[in-house]
Amino acid sequence: MGDRFASIRIAAVQAAPAFLDREGSIDKACALIEEAGRHGADIVGFPENFVPGHPVWFYYHAATSTAAQRFNLELFKNAVEVPSGEIDRVAQAAMRAGVNVVLGMTERRPNTTGTLYNTQLFLGRDGTVRGHHRKLVPTVGERLVHCPGEADRQGAAIFDVGPVSGLICGENSNPLAIAALSCAYPYVHVASWPNHFIPDWCGMQETSLLASRNVAYMNKCYVISACGTNSPEMLEALPRDDADRAFLADPRTSGGSAIVDPLGTVVAGPIDGDREEILYVDTDPDLMLRGRMVHDFVGHYNRPDIFSLEVTTTARPIVRFRAPDEPDVALAPPATRLGGTGAPAIGAEPATLAGGSAGVLAAASET
């Protein structure tokens, strides 16, 4: 008989947030999770910064302008802390729907008033946080509001269906980041993308699909490529002139969500940016196995005597308080643990299940 590798149903969300409205965006995320559950999804992936929206205003407004600073404040006030009641709500939706979730969001460092991150949060359908990735290098305008992610927020999350990796926007073009995730042998990778790219740049639909196909073929896994769209509120709030309005209203400049199989074939989508939709695909695990029998870039199809990659997974805090004859105490965000001794699977720090004051941060089992 041999081993059996189960097929799973994966889902890619294409949707716009309730722009700079945390509660409204959480409401919409929960509704989309429950819709995916009704369609039998095992994993659903969301766009970049779905809660409460991506800082695209820097494409249209100078960083020091009154308009940009107003948007910045709204982003901070509507960012999400982990743990929090908002994360509890998403976790409860995942449990009700029976779906594993990879949610893109702007995260605020807990109990502080100064630092934001561009984050993918991995929530299991059992209501636990399974992974917590912060974008390592914010891109263009993101650098004005997002802090670089720490070294200890890397790796694949372990869900009940197997390892699932994720990268955010331009990270999906970083060959070293992709190589680091390969050693987890992910079954599925979630590539999260914003509402649109810079107007005078490559098209998001074409580029996101190119990068996602590359990740799928290199890692020999399924890729959920989840792209955002522009909401009516964004079309009203963002543009300065008619050229901006025309760009934002063009369905070819946003969206493009798709699902790609382990051989690099597009098996669902892409979707134009003029509609919101969830794509679904039932995976064929034999494609993953066949692909890795040909190319296993962290195994038989490489030369460690020639090529090697060292990945640092220890965060370095900015401030340490040290007293004589006492261990030093670091002022830094809580570190995540790396599960196991080989593949960099991320687990979260222990806390309580949904409904508790500490939020949903029950740890994934260490492997």
Active-site residue numbers? 48, 135, 169
CB contact at 8 A, 287 and 261: yes
Sole residue written with tokens 């261990």: 327
Residues 82, 87: Cα–Cα separation, whole Å: 7
Q: Is residue 147 a contact partner of residue 278, using CB atoms and an 8 Å limit?
A: no
The CA-CA-CA angle for residues 85, 90, 94, to 5°, reads: 140
DSSP 228: B
What is the number of other CB atoms lying within 10 angstroms of the CB of residue 360? 29
**DSSP for residue 80:** B
Helix (H) or strand (E) holding 164, with range, is strand 162-168
Q: How far apart are CA 108 and CA 112, in angstroms?
A: 8
CA dist 108 and 117 (Å) reads 6
Q: Evaluate whether 87 touches 265 at the Cβ level (below 8 Å).
A: no
Residue partners of 252: CB distance under 8 A and separation at least 6: 203, 205, 272, 273
Output 248-254 pairs: Cβ under 8 A, ≥24 positions apart.
248/196, 251/275, 252/203, 252/205, 253/196, 253/197, 253/199, 253/203, 253/204, 253/205, 254/195, 254/196, 254/204, 254/205, 254/227, 254/228, 254/229, 254/230
Phi, psi of 111 (to 5 degrees): 60, 30
Which amino acid does the sequence have at 308?
S
